[in-house]
Amino acid sequence: GAVVSQHPSRVICKSGTSVKIECRSLDFQATTMFWYRQFPKQSLMLMATSNEGSKATYEQGVEKDKFLINHASLTLSTLTVTSAHPEDSSFYICSARRGVKTQYFGPGTRLLVL
């Protein structure tokens, strides 16, 4: 299958700081990437759809000013958690759509906000 990477794999930060997570499609170009969040013992929750060269589309209830998404190239999307708080601690996962049918997921980034 296609390869999607995320960086960093885990990050610990202080409350009030901002954290940037990168998502890269390594062996294909992705015009569309997706960002998910997963809390312990829960399923993945779609946060936003990231389209190359245009603004991201956020799911209902997700604050766009809190979770900034930039999809500057066909192989890179970034998610910035601004002014992070302990309740933002979670497992953040990106996916990239290859062609029109299949999404491939990254390994995830574990964020801990102290």
Partner 1 sequence: DAKTTQPTSMDCAEGRAANLPCNHSTISGNEYVYWYRQIHSQGPQYIIHGLKNNETNEMASLIITEDRKSSTLILPHATLRDTAVYYCIVRVGRGSTLGRLYFGRGTQLTVWP
User: Can you give the binding site for partner 1, defined by CB under 8 A?
Assistant: 1, 4, 6, 32, 34, 36, 43-46, 49, 91, 93, 95, 97, 100-108, 110
Considering the complex, state which of residue 43 and residue 65 has its C-beta at the smaller distance from partner 1.
Answer: 43
Task: Give 6 or 78: the residue with its C-beta nearer to partner 1.
Answer: 6
**Two tokens, residue 55:** 């603004």
Of 20 and 110, the one with the shorter C-beta distance to partner 1 is 110
Considering the complex, what minimum distance in angstroms separates the CB of residue 77 from partner 1?
A: 14
Task: Tell me how far, at minimum, the Cβ of 95 lies from partner 1, in Å.
Answer: 8
Q: Measuring CA to CA, which residue among 31, 60, 35 is closest to residue 49?
A: 35
Residue 27 CB, shortest distance to partner 1, in Å, is 14
What does the alpha-carbon distance between residue 25 and residue 38 come to, in Å, rounded to a whole number? 21
Q: Which of 6, 75 has the CB closer to partner 1?
A: 6
Q: Indicate the Cα dihedral angle 50, 53, 55, 59, nearest 10°.
A: -20
Residue with tokens 């960093």: 8
> Which tokens in the block code for residue 21?
């997570």
As a whole number of angstroms, the distance between CA 95 and CA 87 comes to: 23
